[in-house]
Structure 1
């Protein structure tokens, strides 16, 4: 902290003391002058009377006046009067003292002449003596006037000095006190309105106002920094709130896009479009992976080869579902927003799979219910008819060829219907609990593998999100029927299942074996497996191709569009 080297209070006090001292000096000098002049009038009067007395003595001499001696004594008293004796004091000029001493000496000479009755000598020297008296009186008068002039001069100088000091005190007060205070008041008004660009204060002064100006400037600087810091924090908070509000809007739109009864590809594409548009991204990509090699990739925007991709894994309940990748523009993406979007997408994928599993379970339960109804009604009826047909054979004579022919045809039709019913029951009783296509195929192949020693290989590069629940059920049924046919009829040593996307974005499932190969696409009477497979393919909106494989065996290829 700055120290006070030249106190304003002390300076003003010194100037006021100087005014007081000057007043005292001027008054003292004036009093001294007046005191020194108190006998001047008396001295001049007595000196002037010496001339008259000198002439009176001359008159007494000429008239032989009896009062001569009395007048001589009176003259001696006058010339030695106390008012004239003060002329010998130190403050009288030497020439006046010399003149007075000369008068005294001449008077002693003249007094002797008068005493010895030498009147002629006295009269002859009287004119010179009176001239000396005149000169003495004039000297006293001039000295008295000089003292009066000195007193007047001292008074004028004192008054002017006092006025000068007063004006200097006023100027000093204005310069050292009033002006700095006015600048501080103006600066305080600036600060009061939130402005800190006030006129610089004089901090170079080493007085109280300089210390105050230094403290005020420091306080203003601290307030400016604090105000700027607060303004910056407010701006940062405003930016964060704006970002949070915008992020909430984006998240709300994303949730709205996924808050539908059926979460499908269009929903995820809409979410990617919302995020890319709001964050001004170059491109954004969603890649969903299954337990196998299946990948489902959605991309919004055009990839920039000169920009790097940023990645964020998508997981739910510690299970990796895929990843989200994006390319930023010149502005960075808010990390919290992108993390929340990834959580929303993860939940959307999880919900999509759960929804698909639920629909699949509903389909399976519906088919199981149909199978139970068929078993409890139609199968029982067919069994009853077969029993009745056996009893009928026993009742009708064997030599009745016409009746036996009808019974034989009826038995064949009944057996075909019963065999077809069993195939339908086996188809309807297919139970798949997994929504993931790779796991569903594994669950499908496991019981089939138990029916044969032929190895069944499976390669699935098709994403589960590319199929809805109904498509997956039909596709699994076609795969099951194709594998069963290969097990029963191909006499193969290897059965392979390949699931992969095509170049034009369709789904392709291929079942091949290295067996004897299919001889004809015409099914035997009472068999409907190939027709059912073709019907399922048409329901998928795809095509089913069954034919010989290039490397031998049979190839069954199903191509159908994504959901």
Structure 2
């Protein structure tokens, strides 16, 4: 019995040791399993959840680094790729939004500029001031430098430093309206919207110039009608009185009792003064009756040449070398009257067989010349007493120009008028003063 108890005790102890060993092994396995699950499942899962939360806050920079080929590693790789794609897409969208915002802001500034330019161009200030103010504002919404207007385009091949010259027609297809010239830095370029802005502004300036020219022309027509009425009144009053005086003086000279030399000389002097007054009055009446049937200097000169063809017996030759120059109505009227006065002198004094009229433009200077092949005269002996020369000289001064007379006895006469011309020439001189000089 004692031996049996001893074996039972030994077996029980062995069983207990085995149980403890099994429990230890199980606990160790559980600890290892817990460590493995924490490392391979819990921590990666938390990292993935943190990345998902960060992505939900539009932060695509964090990345999850999980090594291996299990599901968590594949999920982390997919999430990283998705974050990269979202970051790229979000960056692209953000860039496009910024570009669109900047574009809308630029268009807003351009619309505000066009609205302000339209209001300024329609103001009552002188045209040159209005255009200069608009061109100054143009530099603030575009990279253009020193924009200006001119009758001719400045060559686009000319570069000043690192600036390239550009030009635009104020009205496409009508070079006589002028050009907008400006310089552009080589490091800048004009966008399509800025190009369209410049084209629109050119059209606005051209319309403003056309409207100002039409208004000036209407004023000129109204004043010329008024002058025609004055001319009719002068003809019906002073002209008839001078005619009556000429008839009465002729009757006095026919009296036989007035044949003394002194009396005859006095009467001849009276008739000469009366004839001179009559000629001057006729010149004034002719000047007052000059009208521009249509805008433009060329049609006015063509009509003048046609009118004087009958009186001269041959058509004057007109050489027009200012095709792209736009003259104001005041300038057209002054030049037309100068040509008429010159042709009147040819009819009365020159005995010429040919007359050549040239209008040219070069280096911002307009030149008018009227030349005949008549008998000429000595300038010093006639210029002081010739009323027509004084009229032409006064009209040249009204154009801020110069009048020159070239004549030699037996070799004809040439008159020249030169004056500066700018495209922004405005109604700086009152039209009424221009017409009543």
TM above 0.5, yes or no, is yes
Return closer, same or farther for 1:434/1:338 CA change in 2, 3 Å cut-off: farther
User: Do the aligned partners of 2:367 and 2:419 also contact (CA within 8 Å) in 1?
Assistant: yes
User: Do the aligned partners of 2:110 and 2:197 also contact (CA within 8 Å) in 1?
Assistant: no
User: Do the aligned partners of 1:368 and 1:428 also contact (CA within 8 Å) in 2?
Assistant: no
- Give aligned pairs, total: 414
Question: Which residue number in structure 1 is paired with residue 331 of structure 2?
Answer: 471
Question: Which residue number in structure 1 is paired with residue 433 of structure 2?
Answer: none
Question: Which residue number in structure 2 is paired with residue 553 of structure 1?
Answer: 412
User: Do the aligned partners of 1:517 and 1:554 also contact (CA within 8 Å) in 2?
Assistant: yes
Deviations 1:31-56 (A, max 9, x none): xxxxxxxxxxxxxxxxx3xxxxxxxx
- Separation (CA, whole Å) in 1 of partners of 2:116 and 2:147: 17
Question: Which residue number in structure 2 is paired with residue 220 of structure 1?
Answer: 83
Question: Which residue number in structure 2 is paired with residue 179 of structure 1?
Answer: 43
Question: Which residue number in structure 2 is paired with residue 328 of structure 1?
Answer: 184
Structure 2 residue 359 is the aligned partner of structure 1 residue 499: yes
Quote the offset at 1:549 in angstroms.
6.8
Structure 2 residue 21 is the aligned partner of structure 1 residue 160: no
- Separation (CA, whole Å) in 2 of partners of 1:394 and 1:548: 40
Structure 2 residue 313 is the aligned partner of structure 1 residue 456: no
User: Do the aligned partners of 2:170 and 2:205 also contact (CA within 8 Å) in 1?
Assistant: no
Quote the offset at 1:256 in angstroms.
5.9
Quote the offset at 1:228 in angstroms.
0.7
Aligned-partner SS, 2:49 = helix
User: Do the aligned partners of 1:203 and 1:214 also contact (CA within 8 Å) in 2?
Assistant: no
Question: Which residue number in structure 1 is paired with residue 288 of structure 2?
Answer: 428
Quote the offset at 1:232 in angstroms.
0.5
If asked which structure has higher relative contact order (CA below 8 Å, sep 6+), I would say 2
Question: Which residue number in structure 2 is paired with residue 99 of structure 1?
Answer: none
- Separation (CA, whole Å) in 2 of partners of 1:142 and 1:428: 159
- Separation (CA, whole Å) in 2 of partners of 1:396 and 1:285: 68
Deviations 1:463-504 (A, max 9, x none): 645x5443332222112212332344333343233334566x
Residues 50-449 of structure 1: matches in 2 within 5 Å? 138=3, 140-202=4-66, 204-207=68-71, 209-248=72-111, 250-251=113-114, 254-255=117-118, 258-261=121-124, 264-265=127-128, 267-276=130-139, 279-281=142-144, 284=147, 286-288=149-151, 295=152, 303-304=159-160, 308-315=164-171, 319-320=174-175, 321-329=177-185, 330-380=187-237, 382-383=239-240, 386=243, 390=247, 398-401=255-258, 416-449=276-309
TM-score of the aligned structures, taking structure 1 as reference length = 0.61
Return closer, same or farther for 1:323/1:390 CA change in 2, 3 Å cut-off: closer
Unaligned runs of at least 5 residues, structure 2: 426-437
User: Do the aligned partners of 1:449 and 1:456 also contact (CA within 8 Å) in 2?
Assistant: no
Return closer, same or farther for 1:253/1:552 CA change in 2, 3 Å cut-off: farther
Residues 479-494 of structure 1: matches in 2 within 5 Å? 479-494=339-354
Quote the offset at 1:236 in angstroms.
0.6
Deviations 1:367-420 (A, max 9, x none): 332222331454355336645875897799944538997988777666554443
User: Do the aligned partners of 2:366 and 2:418 also contact (CA within 8 Å) in 1?
Assistant: yes
Return closer, same or farther for 1:370/1:298 CA change in 2, 3 Å cut-off: farther
- Separation (CA, whole Å) in 2 of partners of 1:282 and 1:377: 56
Structure 2 residue 337 is the aligned partner of structure 1 residue 509: no
User: Do the aligned partners of 1:312 and 1:323 also contact (CA within 8 Å) in 2?
Assistant: yes
- Separation (CA, whole Å) in 2 of partners of 1:492 and 1:389: 30
Return closer, same or farther for 1:315/1:387 CA change in 2, 3 Å cut-off: same
Return closer, same or farther for 1:353/1:439 CA change in 2, 3 Å cut-off: farther
- Separation (CA, whole Å) in 2 of partners of 1:551 and 1:200: 108
Quote the offset at 1:324 in angstroms.
3.8
Return closer, same or farther for 1:210/1:495 CA change in 2, 3 Å cut-off: same
Question: Which residue number in structure 1 is paired with residue 434 of structure 2?
Answer: none
User: Do the aligned partners of 2:407 and 2:413 also contact (CA within 8 Å) in 1?
Assistant: yes
Question: Which residue number in structure 2 is paired with residue 543 of structure 1?
Answer: 402
Unaligned runs of at least 5 residues, structure 1: 1-47, 49-136, 289-294
User: Do the aligned partners of 2:121 and 2:208 also contact (CA within 8 Å) in 1?
Assistant: no
Return closer, same or farther for 1:205/1:322 CA change in 2, 3 Å cut-off: farther
Residues 518-533 of structure 1: matches in 2 within 5 Å? 518-520=377-379, 528-533=387-392
Aligned-partner SS, 1:261 = coil
Return closer, same or farther for 1:443/1:240 CA change in 2, 3 Å cut-off: farther
Deviations 1:94-132 (A, max 9, x none): xxxxxxxxxxxxxxxxxxxxxxxxxxxxxxxxxxxxxxx
Return closer, same or farther for 1:493/1:174 CA change in 2, 3 Å cut-off: farther
Deviations 1:263-287 (A, max 9, x none): 5455545544443465444565644
Aligned-partner SS, 1:338 = helix
* Structure exhibiting the larger radius of gyration computed from Cα positions: 1
Question: Which residue number in structure 1 is paired with residue 429 of structure 2?
Answer: none
- Kindly report the root-mean-square deviation, in angstroms, between the aligned alpha carbons of the 2 structures: 4.1
